[in-house]
């Protein structure tokens, strides 16, 4: 079974080659790498990558992050009949400081995800056929695109599994969209955008 790994990005911020190298270093033998670059939002670039993908499973990897070497191997083994599957992540900082992220809910349902984004979005592998069944990334969103997708899928009956392995290396740095060094106004705007996403699914709880 082929796994397609999509790296969506606008420009190389200096970490892209490390992301690519982490895909080439996978222990799983059948990996397809797709670079999807444009000035559009992340959801647009991921969707264009999915359209090109030939794999049965989809992983997207942010251009400033990396996959653990056995990431794909672990997730394929654990996928079973789930529509998507998540795992553990490691946050790593300049100076080799690390924080280990273990999700508080292993197999979340819509209510779990709605009440608090209880998984690490970068750790997820998707079944490609489930995009046709439950929908693709919302290309209009400038933030929270994976949160919106997960709420959408769970609200439509998709099943999420979990593998108790470290599958994602999440780089913490000043230019991050979500938790980088940004202005107070930026963070307030992002909170508002996430709340708008969450409110879309309130009626489906």
Dump pLDDT digits (tens) for 30-56: 999 999 999 999 999 999 999 999 999
Mean pLDDT score of the chain = 95
**Model confidence at 193: pLDDT above 60:** yes
Tell me what percent of the residues of the chain surpass a pLDDT of 90: 88
**Averaged pLDDT, 144-150:** 97
Specify the pLDDT at position 178. Answer: 60
Break the chain into its structural domains and give their ranges. Answer: 3-204
User: In CATH, which of 3.40.50.2020, 3.90.78.10, 3.90.550.10, 3.20.20.10 is domain 3-204?
Assistant: 3.90.550.10
**Model confidence at 92: pLDDT above 60:** yes
User: DSSP string of 115-171?
Assistant: HS--S-GGG-EEEHHHHHHH----TT-SS-HHHHHHHHHHHTT--EEEEEEEEEEEE
Segment 116-140, tens digit of pLDDT: 889 999 999 999 999 999 999 999 9
């Amino acid at each position: 079974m082929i796994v397609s790994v999509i790296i969506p990005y606008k420009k190389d911020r200096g970490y892209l080659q490390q992301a690519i190298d982490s895909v080439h270093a996978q222990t799983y033998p059948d990996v397809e790498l797709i670079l999807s670059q444009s000035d559009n939002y992340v959801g647009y670039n991921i969707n264009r990558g999915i359209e090109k993908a030939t794999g049965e499973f989809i992983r997207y990897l942010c251009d400033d992050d990396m996959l653990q070497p056995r990431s794909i191997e672990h997730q394929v083994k654990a996928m079973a009949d789930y529509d998507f599957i998540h795992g553990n992540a490691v946050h790593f900082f300049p100076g080799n400081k690390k924080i280990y992220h273990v999700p508080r809910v292993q197999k979340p349902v819509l209510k779990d995800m709605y009440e608090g984004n209880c998984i690490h979005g970068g750790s997820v592998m998707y079944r490609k056929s489930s995009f046709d069944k439950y929908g693709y990334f919302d290309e209009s969103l400038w933030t929270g695109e994976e949160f919106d997708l997960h709420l959408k899928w769970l609200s439509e009956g998709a099943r999420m599994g979990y593998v108790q392995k470290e599958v994602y290396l999440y780089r913490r740095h000043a230019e991050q969209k979500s938790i980088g060094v940004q202005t107070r106004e930026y963070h307030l705007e992002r909170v508002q955008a996430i709340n708008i996403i969450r409110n879309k699914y309130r009626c489906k709880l």
